Structure formats: structure tokens, C-alpha cells
Amino acid sequence: MNPPAADNGQTRSWREALATYTQPRVVGMVFLGFAAGLPFLLVFSTLSAWLRDIGIARTTIGFFSWVGITYSIKVFWAPVIDRLPFPLLTRLLGKRRSWMLIAQLTIATGLVGMALTDPHTDLTLLAAFALLVAFGSATQDITVDAYRIEAVDQRLQGAMAATYVLGYRIALLIAGAGAFYIAEAHSWPLAYLAMAALMGVGAITTLVIHEPVHRPDARTRALEARLEEAVGIHGKRTLAMRIAAWFSDAVVSPFMEFFQRNGALAILILLLVGCYKLSDITMGVMANPFYLDLGFSKTEIANITKIFGFFMTIAGAALGGVLVVRYGILRPLLAGAILVASTNLLFVWLAISEPTLGSLAVVISADNLSGGFATSAFIAWLSSLTNTAYTATQYALFSSLMTLPAKLIGGFAGVVVDSAGYASFFLYAGLLGLPAILLVLVLHKRLPGMAKYTPEPQ
């Protein structure tokens, strides 16, 4: 895939932009987005709420969020998924779908294990099962992201991102509000068993969809051959040379191709990838403990933050997807960065004012609307950066880098709250969004054509 072209002079109508949501594979992304989104909260904010609800210390909850670092290091095993077939299954289902199914079964197993573990007596075992869920979820993300990019051309990537977010948010609603409702009426373990059963939706989807076409790329094959020749392993005459050649092709070549294609802008791009979600993810670690500590019940939290917030997120994601098709990538990307950082100020206001359901609804509306908008623009931008010869590996690099700094910083969220209070924490989380805003502005100046870029059909 070539880097984004300059403005081609085409401006799509609003009708054409909206019509992208009727494409069959665009609609199908709702179900894969659901499968990808279901496990996330169960090792993140829903797990934080479970632990806080049974009296686990906030500092411990903050450290528990480091389980999510698994999402940030998936780039290390993405080359295996990109290149190696899974025994037997790959012949039956294809490269992407076979790994999807294995990942979904891993997630379900881990969720059952979490449900059957008592946090009071074996917190370490709970963490181990949460890690298994996170590993399976990160592996599923690698394959779903690769499928999303490979299944359609660039013209539809903004819409694919938006419908992915729709499915993802439906799953978050179920893993958030649904888990809260079940926990309130019955217990947290039963909630996690129900979530494990719902992973069947992902497995069924995987069996129904068609494997995308994997197109050969003469330019990337030539790059791989040059790298093999440079280190003296071209020809693969021995087993050791074949292993070395595989490592060169699967691991080294994707990174070399990215830097070769983007030149001096590569570092700027990676810095923006690492900074864009800092504010959002850091704030999310303490969101549910914050609502509980304000005195809201689990049912009230579910009603306002999960159900009402869900519709605001979908509205933001749909708007973001349309604006990417209509106006290009960088301007929606900039608007999303500004909105996500600034909405943290509303959380500061909520922390220092008398908490009411009305004020909570206002804050959640703004936060979810901006978050959905920013996510659609960001996913479309990341998708445009990949070469389809290395889809899984390159996108895993971006998505890993996207979450790693935020996960590391987010692990100290409980420490900041305990030492400085919620108001100071949310102000601090908002300031973490400033580097992303500045980097988008710099990129906007360096690539002015991309601001109006409308992807052309391939």
C-alpha cells in the first residue's frame, strides 16, 4: 500500500459518504467488532469495579491494569500470525479466520477461569487468568485488524472503522452495563461466566465470514530478497538459513518497509501513534472507581455511563467515519485529539461539584461523543499507514505503540488519585493529551494534502 496521496481534487457528496455504510463487509464488521470488544472491559474497568466493590485497595487496582500491557506488546507475536499457518485449521478456514477462532476459544477459557477464582483468597490466580484473557484478546485484535484492512479497499476504511466501533461499543455495553446488572442481581462470577458464553458470537462470526484475498506484492518481495542477500541467507540452503530468512521476511521486512516508505516522517508518525490515546486510556483506569466513590450505585453507573454513553459513542463514531470520507483524515484526527483532552476538564468539574445523575449524564455525553469521533478518525489513519503485504505485523506495531505508553502511565493512576485526589488526576489526564494535539498540527503542516485526502478505489 502506498502512502496517502495528495489531494486528488475529488470531494465526495454526503450521500456518497453515507452510502458506504450499506456495503456488506462494512456491515459485517459490526460482529467482528463485537468479538474484539467483549473481553476488553473484563480485564480493564469492569474488573476494576469488581475489585473495588469487594474492597480491594485502589493502588492494587491500578497495578492490575498492567495486565492490559499484553495489548501493547502483541507486535512481538504478530509476525507469527502474519506468516505461519495454524496446523489443520488454516487449511479449513484460511490464515486470518483460523487464528481468530483459536484466540476466541482462549478468551472464553480465561473468562471461565476468572469466574471460578475467588479474589479474596487467590488474587494472583485471578491475575493469571486475566492475563490469559488479555493474551487471547490481543491475538484476536491482530487478526480482526488484519481482516478489516484486507477485506476492502482504502475507500471504505473510514466506514469499516465506524462499524467496527459500533460492534465494539455494543460489546462494551454488554461487558460493562450487562456485567454490572448481573453482578447487582446475582454475583460478579456469574457475570463473567455469562461473558464467556457470549464469546460464542465471535466464534460463529469467524465461521461465517469469508477469508480475504491475500494479494502478492512484487515490491515487498523484492525488498525481502534484498534483505536476505544483504545478510547472506538468500537461497535458504540449510534449515538455519530458512529460519533466518523467515525471521528476516516476517519480522525485519515490515519495519524496514515502513521506514523506507515514510522516510523522515516515520518517527513523527510513531510518536503520534504513541501519544494519541494517552489521555483517554489513563483516565479510563479510574473512571468506574470514581463513579462508585461519588456514591452512585452500580445500576445508576450502568444506566448512565454504559447505556446512555453507548449511544453518544456510536453517534461520535458515525460522525467521525463520515467526516473522514468527506474531508480526509488529518482534520478529523486533530478535532478528535482536542475533544478527548478537553473533556477531562468536565471530569474535574464533576469531582469538585455536588454529584447528580444530571451532571454525570452531561459529562458522559461529552466524553463518549468525543471518544467515538476520535476513535473512528484514528483507526482510519492507522489503517492507511499499513502495507497489505504486512497488514497484521504493521498494524500490531501501531496498535501496540498506541496503548503501551498509556498502559504504563495508567498503572500509576491509583497512586495519583490516592495522593492528590480525583480532580487533580483528571486535570493531569487532560494535560497528557497536549502532545497528540501538537503532533497532529505538525503532521498537518508537513502533509497538507492529506488533510483533504479522500482514498481512491483500488
The predicted-structure confidence for 8-49, as pLDDT tens digits, reads as follows: 434 555 666 667 677 777 887 899 999 999 999 899 888 888
What pLDDT score does 110 carry? 95
C-alpha 442/C-alpha 455 separation (Å) is: 22
C-alpha 159/C-alpha 165 separation (Å) is: 10
pLDDT of residue 153 exceeding 80: no
Cell triple for 421: 485526589
CB 319 within 8 A of CB 394: no
Q: What is the pLDDT of residues 99-126, one digit of tens each?
A: 999 999 999 999 999 999 988 888 889 9
CB 204 within 8 A of CB 418: no
pLDDT of residue 199 exceeding 90: yes
Higher-pLDDT residue of 94 and 162 is: 94
What pLDDT score does 102 carry? 95
CB 145 within 8 A of CB 363: no
**How confident is the prediction for the chain on average, in pLDDT?**
82
- Give the global pTM: 0.72
Under 8 Å CB-to-CB from 258, ≥6 apart: which residues?
A: 266, 385, 387, 394, 397
Q: For residue 394, which of 141, 78, 72, 154 has the smallest C-alpha distance?
A: 78
Give whole-number Cα distances, 82 to 89, 94, 103, in Å.
15, 12, 14
Q: What is the pLDDT of residues 214-267, one digit of tens each?
A: 666 677 777 777 777 776 666 666 777 777 777 777 777 888 888 888 888 889
Q: For residue 257, which of 213, 227, 233 has the smallest C-alpha distance?
A: 227
pLDDT of residue 369 exceeding 60: yes
For the chain, domains (ranges, CATH) are 14-452 (1.20.1250.20)
Residue 10: burial class (beta carbons within 10 Å; 0-12, 13-18, 19+):
exposed
C-alpha 142/C-alpha 386 separation (Å) is: 13
Under 8 Å CB-to-CB from 296, ≥6 apart: which residues?
A: 304, 355, 357, 360
